[in-house]
Amino acid sequence: GVLTARSLRHILRSPDTIMTTAVTPIAMMLLFVYVFGGAISTGSDESYVNYLLPGILLITIASGVAYTAYRLFLDLQGGIFERFASMPIARSSVLWAHVLTSLAANLVSVAIVIVVALVMGFRTGASVAAWLAVAAILVLFTLSLTWIAVIAGLSAKSVDGASAFSYPLIFLPFISSAFVPTDSMPGPVAWFAENQPVTSVVNSIRNLFAQEPVGTDIWTALAWLVGLLVVAYAFAIATYRRKIC
């Protein structure tokens, strides 16, 4: 709790971090809805902002976790980890403090993006249970990516390298069903888009918002996210022990 409060204070003292994280996805949403949206066919009658929002939310989170890697790298270079290691506290608590801070900051960024989407015309008749299911998926997605960010922050050799890992994560939604249906893509690209984790996550969130059956997408998404979380957590702890212990 003490370490998480310390990490949260860093965020509160630089709220521009959250705003910066939200600005790029909002700009992309405005661009795709008002510039490209009229030329994109999704095969349904729903508004393009409704179709687009799930992917934008994932891009928001992928952008936000880069700051976790950045802050971890600065702590590592500043020698604070060695001081924490000399105290009678759980070794993993140092990492969990950064992870929980990332979760809180990213949820705020996601909320800002959803508010802007509502202003742009996003509408849903989703029930409270569906909203809670969407929130749970986004939390699990954030935790999975944040533990990957922890590995990057502990392994990086420079500040730029610590945050550069997020670029492929931000790019991944573009090769998924986030912006256009996968059946409109060329064969090999469509196969990759259909079988990568972002597509199942996007489809699950989109169907929950649209009050449609989620089918097998929800189980595929959960399998991907839980698997990534477990593997990333194990590698992060192993990297931390190798660096500090």
Tens-place pLDDT, residues 11-22 = 777 766 666 777
Q: Quote the number of domains for the chain.
A: 1
Which regions of the chain are under pLDDT 70? 15-19, 41, 43, 81-82, 91, 245
Residue 15: its pLDDT value, please? 65
Residue 200: its pLDDT value, please? 94
Q: Answer yes or no: are the C-beta atoms of 51 and 181 closer than 8 Å.
A: no
Residue 225: its pLDDT value, please? 94
Task: Give the span between the Cα atoms of 85 and 188, in whole angstroms.
Answer: 48
Residues with Cβ within 8 Å of 116's Cβ and at least 6 positions away in sequence, in order, are 26, 29
What is the residue range of 67's domain? 2-244
What is the per-residue pLDDT across 31-53, written as a single tens digit (0 to 9) for each? 888 887 777 767 677 788 999 99
pTM of the model: 0.88
What is the per-residue pLDDT across 141-176, written as a single tens digit (0 to 9) for each? 999 999 998 888 888 787 777 777 777 888 888 899
CA dihedral 122, 201, 170, 27 (to 10 degrees): 0
